[in-house]
Amino acid sequence: MSSDPTGADGDGTAVSMEGISKYFGEVVALEDVDLELRRGEVLALVGDNGAGKSTLIKCLAGVHEPDAGEIRIDGAEVEITNPRDAKALGIETAYQDLALAGNLTVTQNVFLGREETTAFEGLVGVLDKDAMNERAAELLGDLEIDIDPGATVRDLSGGERQLVALSRTLLSDPEIIIMDEPTSALSVEGADRVLALIDRLRDQGISIILISHNLEYTREVADRVQVLFHGRNAGVLDAQAATRDGIVSRMIGGHLDGDEGELDDESEGERGASEAA
Ligand SMILES: Nc1ncnc2c1ncn2[C@@H]1O[C@H](COP(=O)(O)OP(=O)(O)OP(=O)(O)O)[C@@H](O)[C@H]1O
Ligand SMILES: [Mg+2]
């Protein structure tokens, strides 16, 4: 074990994506992109519309296969060719479009599509309504989410739906959760509840990739901020130290010399005082 050449479990890195490229015909969605998610951190992934954020996380979630690059989970190289592979590696995803069924209850949505694969204490395969309701109530309770498991989803607010969508990802007890725009279209109050949930999940040791266009929320909840610009890496910043301008300038392809909060950005090299001109 200790001689494991992959360095598995050695360095606190949950996910490492290296040199990821993805093309859709002529469209270069990603070109040589790296991403590192440390264990127990919230990594924000930001960038303008079309920067490649969703494509990158879909490569990790098994929705897309990258055309080039490597993915490591806990230091070991993995092949993720479909969503099932990702789930088996402890990776769950809440997508931009929530994919909840409005006519079903909270419980039914939590279990949607998991009927055959779910196997937790005492409930294997068989779909016992009471057990599912109980499990959903427990899940929501653990997350301090005050929503009735029997409520019909279409009667919930947007924020509550988002909480249900995030709860869903927790059913399999994942190590890594990817959230694509969980606060978009939410009221301030709704977003606050989602941010509080993200904080609690991190406290439980879950590693989180958070895609968001809201830089205030991002800086509030994230540990580090990774910026993409036109499908390429545009820097990784410390969320606390980063300024809004520092993040925005990278999102729009600009580059402030000596950005506050900039982390080991190898591509920078040494920069002379004249470079900003
Ligand atoms: N399935 C697809 N087929 C063809 N092109 C695609 C596909 N998915 C994404 N693209 C293209 O790849 C690029 C990156 O898109 P992506 O959805 O990853 O951006 P994004 O950063 O998530 O943007 P947004 O903030 O708008 O969600 C865009 O040019 C987009 O049009
Ligand atoms: Mg997207």
Q: 């009471």: which residue's tokens? A: 130
Provide the pLDDT for residue 25: 95
Nearest to 92 by CA among 33, 180, 17: 180
Identify the pLDDT of residue 245.
Answer: 92
Q: What is the DSSP letter of 164?
A: H
Instruction: Give dist(CA 49, CA 97) in Å, integer.
Output: 15
Provide DSSP, 189-238: HHHHHHHHHHHHHHHTT-EEEEE-S-HHHHHHH-SEEEEEETTEEEEEEE
Does the C-beta of 51 come closer than 6 Å to ligand 1? yes
* Tokens of residue 196, six digits: 């509080």
Ligand 1 pocket, 29 CB below 6 A?
yes
Q: Residue 265 in 3-state DSSP?
A: coil
**Residue 19, phi then psi, degrees to nearest 5:** 60, 35
Q: Ligand 1 pocket, 219 CB below 6 A?
A: no
Distance CA 173, CA 91 (A): 9
What does pTM read for this prediction?
Answer: 0.85
Identify the pLDDT of residue 263.
74
Please list the pLDDT of the chain residue by residue as tens digits (277 residues): 333 444 444 469 999 999 999 999 999 999 999 999 999 999 999 999 999 999 999 999 999 999 999 999 999 999 999 999 999 999 999 887 777 899 999 999 998 876 544 455 444 445 677 888 888 998 888 888 889 999 999 999 888 888 898 888 988 889 999 999 888 877 788 888 889 999 999 999 999 999 999 999 999 999 999 999 999 999 999 999 999 999 999 999 866 555 667 775 444 333 333 333 3
| Domain boundaries of the chain, sorted by first residue | 13-97+176-267
Return the CATH fold of 13-97+176-267.
Rossmann fold (3.40.50)
7 lines ligand 1 (CB under 6 A): no
Smallest CA separation from ligand 1 atom 9, residue = 55
CA of 213, closest atom in ligand 1:
25
Q: Is 59 in the pocket of ligand 1 (CB under 6 A)?
A: no
For residue 3, the CA-to-ligand 2 centroid distance in Å is: 40
